[in-house]
Amino acid sequence: MGKQPLGWIIVDSLDTLMLMKCDEELREARSWVKHELDYDFDYNVNTFETTIRMLGGLLSAHYLSEDDVYLEQAARLGNKLLGAFGSKKGIPYASVNLKSGQGIPSHVDRGASSTAEATSVQLEFKYLAQLTGEELYWRAAEQVMKSLDEADPTDGLVPIYIQPETAKFQGNLIRLGSRGDSYYEYLLKQYLQTREPVYLEMYLETVAGIRKHLVRYSKPNNLMFIGELERGIGGPLSTKMDHLVCFAGGMFAMGATEGLDYETARRLSTWTDEKEQQMNMAKELTHTCYRMYHDVPATGLAPEIVVFKEDANADKDFYIKPADKHNLQRPETVESLYYLYKITGDIKYREWGWEIFENFVKHTKVTSGGKDSKPRYTSLDDVTVSPPKLRDNMESFWLSETLKYLYLLFDDETDPKWDLENIVFNTEAHPFPRYTKAPFATGWRRQGKLESLESEKKETPAQEAELGNADTDLDVSEAKLKASRDNEAVAEALKQKGELPVAKQPVAKPLNEQVDSVKEELVKQDDV
């Protein structure tokens, strides 16, 4: 990552260290975050990856520890990332320069942003808004969803590219794999995080669309899979499925139960046939994803992509193309195993998870050979041969997601900060708390689809004052800081360093004008 490292693995792994009680390593990591982590250098970073890994990692570390060190760094990074939202429609650009705060369109795909990337930063910015009291973070996140919904996707299914300046979809390819996946994930998770009903409605539309257009069953073992529409709705279905799609098993289970155990959830008066169908989809897809590991005899590890067979004479349910045989130690299958075990209590999900864990250890662990050498782990070139060729590369999500979900799968402790009923994981497995009441009102209404939203009821004058409609500047006076949070200490620390979470902006300005002003202010600060 350029001449000056950002410490991706360190920040992405903070909450994993906390979960596993790795106290010595955590002390070293915290010291590095406090004294060495710096975003003030001239380098372009991916908006999405930096948000989910770095901002998400800092925010979850603050949630678990209530340590201001992490929140101060999160506020600084949030300021830098805001520049990505400077397009005319508020759709974030693919990259952003950390020094200037300037958003940068993709250098490929005709400048389009990935739909999943543009719509999978909302949990992070909304939680940052809740912690700092800064409405601009919240509005930036919501504007993305408004603009995308106004593009009017058919049956809730979205093409995987969107143009930032026009908020129009580019191309017709629809899938729950690469560049599409976390759009669907974050619809549900935004609802769970903030209870804004607009996102539940959007999520349920997508579930119906997935069931109608994308779900198929393989031969000979009738495995449920989710295919792709390369030419859009109405076109032929491709039976290709990325390993990334395996997140959806956990998503469907959470959509049905909202984190309650299955038996409790189904006894509630709110239980419906639709929720039962979601649970069935969750179980079937998670079984398929387990088979993507179990049915690869050489290593017992899944490839990046499989192609399912629908031919009645097929002897195997899927095959693997030569270019798709690699394994990046991805988390999506063990993620769904974790959700399904916690929700159903069925021991088979632990058994499947242990099988996968043992194969990861067997085939991806490397040592330097010395007596006291510590094991390291790496991606694989080809899961269809044994021993597989090693890649000499480990993604940070191996520590932040894959190992975390495996640990949680077997963890019987009842720490409420990790309870599924109390939290929502971002797409990098960083836990954030759910809100009993959203700190800001929903900033948009679906055109012709939702006549009224509970969060858009007319506020009283007192409520309007609470929502901060006069301005979005962080008031560091004691009277205005939230007594229930630790914002006062954070605000004072930032104030002493000449920083505020965002520069003062009148709410009446259009969002793109607000963001432009923020970028100008940040550039001035950087030049001082």
| E strand intervals along 121-227 | 161-162, 215-217, 224-226
Q: Rounded distance, CA 341 to CA 345, Å? A: 5
| Catalytic position from the list 68, 135, 181, 473 | 181
Mutual orientation of helices 273-294 and 197-213 as an angle, nearest 10°? 60
* DSSP notation for 8-56: HHHHHTHHHHHHTT-HHHHHHHHHHHHHT----SS-EEEHHHIIIIIIH
| Catalytic position from the list 25, 49, 205, 382 | 49
Q: Which DSSP state fits 451?
A: S
Contact 65, 52 (CB under 8 A): no
CA atoms lying within 13 Å on the CB side of residue 498: 7
Judge whether 142 counts as a catalytic residue.
Answer: no
Residue whose C-alpha is closest to residue 240's, from 171, 122, 344, 324: 324
CA-CA-CA-CA torsion sign (188, 200, 50, 12): negative
Contact 182, 277 (CB under 8 A): no
Residue holding tokens 């393989």?
Answer: 218
Residue type, 432: F
Q: Which residues contact 4 (CB under 8 A, 6 or more apart)?
A: 38, 41, 43
Q: Rounded distance, CA 383 to CA 386, Å? A: 7
| Catalytic position from the list 12, 68, 134, 304 | 304
Residue holding tokens 């596993």?
Answer: 20
- Adjacent-strand bridge partners of 95: 46, 104
Structure tokens at 427: 């797409």
Judge whether 419 counts as a catalytic residue.
Answer: no
Judge whether 311 counts as a catalytic residue.
Answer: no
In Å, what is the CA distance from 119 to each residue of 148, 160, 161, 326, 511? 9, 11, 11, 27, 17
Q: Rounded distance, CA 524 to CA 15, Å? A: 34
Judge whether 466 counts as a catalytic residue.
Answer: no
Contact 8, 397 (CB under 8 A): no
Angle at 38 between CA 36 and CA 39, to 5 degrees: 165
| Catalytic position from the list 185, 332, 335, 473 | 332
Q: Rounded distance, CA 490 to CA 78, Å? A: 14
CA-CA-CA-CA torsion sign (331, 336, 337, 339): positive
- Adjacent-strand bridge partners of 368: none
**What residues are designated binding site?**
427
Q: Which residues in 262-273 are b (16+ Cβ under 10 Å) and which e?
A: beebbeeeeeee
Cα separation of the two ends of the chain: 25
Angle at 419 between CA 191 and CA 74, to 5 degrees: 65
**What residues are designated binding site for Ca(2+)?**
427
Give catalytic residue positions. Answer: 49, 181, 304, 332
